Amino acid sequence: EVQLVESGGGLVQPGGSLRLSCEASGFAFSSYWIHWVRQAPGKGLVWVSRIKSDGTTTDYADSVKGRFTISRDNAKNTVFLEMNNLRAEDTAVYYCARVGGRTYALDIWGQGTMLTVSS
């Protein structure tokens, strides 16, 4: 089964750090771009970051640039999102998603992991 599974969410104090993981299975992971998208409680979807299949290209939304770092380990079929200097407004469900080769769209999504930034 083709799937993505996020982990690593939790409760963090403002200014703190956390690393999210996104583990893939059922497809040739090293051939696909992976994105992170977040959704604050009761709000819409917000694109966060992306990483190229070989890890050589990364991009970030302005709201997280300089604080978040996306990386991947293709040997472990895993993408990471390292989040530093966290703010209350980073509180959200974080989804990872795959860009389909045929669709050039986010065709496979994980179930999401919740990050709460609060003191």
Partner 1 sequence: DIQMTQSPSSLSASVGDRVTITCRASQSISSYLNWFQQKPGKAPKLLIYGASDLQSGVPLRFSGSGSGTDFTLTINGLQPEDFATYYCQQSYSTLWTFGQGTKVDLK
Query: Where does this chain bind partner 1 (CB under 8 A)?
Result: 35, 37, 44-47, 50, 59-62, 95, 97, 100, 103-107, 109-112
Neighbours of 83 (CB within 10 A): 25
Q: Which is nearer to partner 1, 29 or 110 (CB)?
A: 110
Q: Which is nearer to partner 1, 16 or 108 (CB)?
A: 108
Q: Which residues contact 51 (CB under 8 A, 6 or more apart)?
A: 33, 34, 35, 57, 58, 70, 71, 72, 79
Question: Residue 76: which H helix or E strand, with range?
Answer: none
Q: Which is nearer to partner 1, 104 or 119 (CB)?
A: 104
Min dist. Cβ of residue 3 to partner 1 (A) = 11
